[in-house]
C-alpha cells in the first residue's frame, strides 16, 4: 500500500539547485529527435489520445485537463478545478479522471467526492463513477495489513494514478492499493482486474513492508493496450532501483510474462510493431537520497526506454526530462515531460514532447 513517492516529492520544492539561466525549451523547439509540442504546463502526468486524435493531458498541479492538437500545437482547457488530478482518458464526449495524491495540497483528497476515486467529466459536470478508497477499505485486494493498532493506516490505502478507458470498462492503476481495477462504464461496478503481487526476489528480497508482508509493493503506474488486444502494466516497485517491472497481461487480467530491470517506471506505451516504451521519470536524479550537488542540471533527469520486439528484447534509451505519461499514436511516440518540475521550483515548466526514433541510442 505504498504511496507513489519520489526523492523530489520527499525533498520538497527547491531541493535541487537550478541555475538562474536554466529554463525548459519553448513549444516548437526541437533537437532533431525530441520536439516540444506544448510548454508552460503545470505538472503534466498522463496523456491519452481521444477519438478525434487530440491529446488530452492531466495537469496535476492545477487540476486541469488540457486538450492539445499535436499538429499545430493549439491547446484549450477541457476541464478545470479538479482535485488531486493524476490520470485522464477520453471516450466520446466524456473524460474519465483519476483523482489521487498530487503532493501539493489541492482541495481535500479525503473527500470521496473529490479524491481517491474515478470520476467522469461531461459537459462541465463531474460525476463520481467509483469510490476507489471505499472499495479498498471494504475489500483490501492486495491482502496487506491496512491499519495500525492506533487506527491509523500504515500507508496510503489508495492513490488512483492512471486511467485507460476501454470499450466497456475503465481500467485504473491504483498505486496505493497495489492493483489495477476494472470499472464498468455504465454502472460503476468495480472489481480487481490485475493484482501484480509483492515482489520478493532480487533487490526486493527481505525488504521490510507492512506487518506480515516482506518485499516490494508493486505500485502500478501505467497501462497501455497493445495492437493485439493485450495490455501492458508498469509497476513502480517501491522505488527500488532496477526492481520495476512491466507486465504483459491478457484481457482477463492474467499474466503472459513481464519485463524487469526498470527504475521506478511511471508510464508505458506500445508501438505498432510491438515495441514497448517505458518512462523512468527520475533516472539520473543526482544525489540519491542525499541533497544533490550545487548547480546540478535538472534537464538531465529522466529517460525513456524502448524495448524492441526482437528475441533479445534489445533496449535503447532516449533522454527526455522527467517523463511521466506516454502515448503512441499514428506511428509516433509522445510523452509528458518536466512532469514534477514544481518540486524543484519550476511550477510551469511542464511539456508535451514528440520523441522520434533518432532519440533512442544504446546505453553509454
| pLDDT tens per residue, range 265-275 | 999 999 999 99
CA 315 to each of CA 153, 306, 342: distance values in angstroms, whole numbers, following the listed order: 39, 6, 30
Q: What does pLDDT average to over the chain?
A: 89
Distance separating alpha carbons of residues 273 and 169, to the nearest angstrom = 25
**Residue with the three cell numbers 489521487:** 100
Rounded percentage of the chain residues whose pLDDT exceeds 70: 88
Q: Does pLDDT of 151 surpass 80?
A: yes
pLDDT value of position 143? 94
pLDDT value of position 37? 97
Q: What is the mean pLDDT of residues 53-62?
A: 96
Distance separating alpha carbons of residues 221 and 198, to the nearest angstrom = 15
pLDDT value of position 18? 47
pTM score, two decimals? 0.92
Q: What is the mean pLDDT of residues 248-257?
A: 97
Confidence label for 104 from pLDDT (cuts 50, 70 and 90): low
pLDDT value of position 128? 93
Decide: residue 172, CB within 10 A, 0-12 exposed, 13-18 middle, 19+ buried.
buried
Distance separating alpha carbons of residues 214 and 217, to the nearest angstrom = 9
Give me the long-range contacts of 105-113 (CB less than 8 A, separation at least 24): 106/61, 106/62, 106/63, 107/63, 107/83, 108/83, 109/83, 109/84, 111/83
Confidence label for 111 from pLDDT (cuts 50, 70 and 90): low
Express each pLDDT in 197-235 by its tens digit. 999 999 999 999 999 999 999 999 999 999 999 999 999
Q: Does pLDDT of 5 surpass 50?
A: no
Q: How many CB atoms lie within 10 A of CB 171?
A: 25
DSSP code of 198?
-
Higher pLDDT, 115 or 16: 115
User: Residue 130 contacts by C-beta under 8 Å, 6 or more apart in sequence?
Assistant: 117, 118, 172, 181, 183, 188, 190
3-class state of residue 160 by DSSP: strand
Rounded percentage of the chain residues whose pLDDT exceeds 90: 73
Give me the long-range contacts of 108-116 (CB less than 8 A, separation at least 24): 108/83, 109/83, 109/84, 111/83, 114/83, 114/84, 115/83, 115/84, 116/84, 116/158, 116/159, 116/160, 116/176
Q: Does pLDDT of 290 surpass 70?
A: no
pLDDT value of position 172? 98
pLDDT value of position 8? 41
Q: What is the mean pLDDT of residues 94-106?
A: 79
Q: Does pLDDT of 317 surpass 80?
A: yes
Nearest 5°: the CA angle 129, 130, 133 is 150
Q: Does pLDDT of 15 surpass 80?
A: no
Q: What is the mean pLDDT of residues 120-145?
A: 94
Instruction: Of 14-18, 45-49, 159-163, 191-195, give the lowest mean pLDDT range.
Output: 14-18
User: Residue 63 contacts by C-beta under 8 Å, 6 or more apart in sequence?
Assistant: 80, 81, 82, 83, 84, 85, 106, 107
Confidence label for 301 from pLDDT (cuts 50, 70 and 90): very high
CA 122 to each of CA 50, 126, 127, 186: distance values in angstroms, whole numbers, following the listed order: 14, 7, 8, 14
pLDDT value of position 23? 73
Q: Does pLDDT of 12 surpass 50?
A: no
pLDDT value of position 28? 80
pLDDT value of position 110? 55
Q: Does pLDDT of 21 surpass 60?
A: no
Distance separating alpha carbons of residues 14 and 52, to the nearest angstrom = 39
Q: Does pLDDT of 83 surpass 60?
A: yes
Amino acid at each position: 500500500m505504498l504511496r507513489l513517492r519520489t526523492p523530489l516529492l520527499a525533498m520538497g520544492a527547491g531541493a535541487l539547485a537550478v541555475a538562474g539561466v536554466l529554463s525548459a525549451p519553448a513549444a516548437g523547439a526541437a533537437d532533431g529527435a525530441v520536439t516540444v509540442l506544448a510548454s508552460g504546463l503545470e505538472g503534466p502526468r498522463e496523456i491519452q489520445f481521444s477519438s478525434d486524435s487530440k491529446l488530452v493531458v492531466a495537469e496535476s498541479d492545477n487540476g486541469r485537463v488540457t486538450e492539445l492538437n499535436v499538429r499545430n500545437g493549439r491547446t484549450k482547457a477541457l476541464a478545470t478545478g479538479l482535485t488531486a488530478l493524476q490520470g485522464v482518458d477520453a471516450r466520446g464526449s466524456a473524460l474519465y479522471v483519476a483523482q489521487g495524491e498530487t503532493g501539493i495540497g489541492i482541495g481535500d483528497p479525503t473527500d470521496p467526492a473529490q479524491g481517491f476515486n474515478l470520476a467522469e467529466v461531461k459537459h462541465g459536470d463531474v460525476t463520481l463513477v467509483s469510490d476507489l478508497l471505499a472499495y479498498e477499505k471494504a475489500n483490501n485486494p492486495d491482502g496487506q495489513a491496512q491499519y495500525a493498532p492506533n487506527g491509523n493506516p500504515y500507508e496510503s490505502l489508495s492513490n488512483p494514478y492512471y486511467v485507460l478507458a476501454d470499450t466497456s470498462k475503465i481500467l485504473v492503476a491504483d498505486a496505493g492499493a497495489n492493483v489495477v481495477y476494472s470499472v464498468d462504464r455504465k454502472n460503476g461496478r468495480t472489481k480487481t482486474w490485475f493484482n501484480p503481487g509483492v515482489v520478493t526476489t532480487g533487490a526486493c528480497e527481505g525488504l521490510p513492508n507492512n506487518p506480515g508482508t516482506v518485499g516490494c509493493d508493486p505500485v502500478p503506474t501505467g497501462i497501455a493496450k497493445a495492437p493485439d488486444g493485450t495490455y501492458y502494466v508498469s509497476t513502480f516497485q517501491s522505488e527500488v532501483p532496477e526492481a520495476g517491472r512491466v507486465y504483459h497481461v491478457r484481457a482477463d487480467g492474467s499474466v503472459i510474462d513481464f519485463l524487469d530491470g526498470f527504475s521506478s517506471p511511471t508510464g508505458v506505451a506500445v508501438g505498432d510493431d510491438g515495441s514497448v516504451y517505458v518512462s523512468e521519470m527520475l533516472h539520473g536524479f543526482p544525489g540519491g537520497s542525499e541533497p544533490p550537488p550545487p548547480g546540478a542540471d535538472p534537464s538531465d533527469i529522466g529517460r525513456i526506454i524502448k524495448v524492441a520486439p526482437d528475441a533479445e528484447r534489445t533496449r535503447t534509451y532516449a533522454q527526455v526530462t522527467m517523463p511521466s505519461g506516454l502515448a503512441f499514436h499514428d506511428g509516433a511516440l509522445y510523452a509528458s515531460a518536466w512532469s514534477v518540475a514544481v518540486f524543484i521550483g519550476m511550477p510551469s515548466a511542464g511539456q508535451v514532447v514528440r520523441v522520434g526514433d533518432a532519440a533512442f541510442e544504446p546505453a553509454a
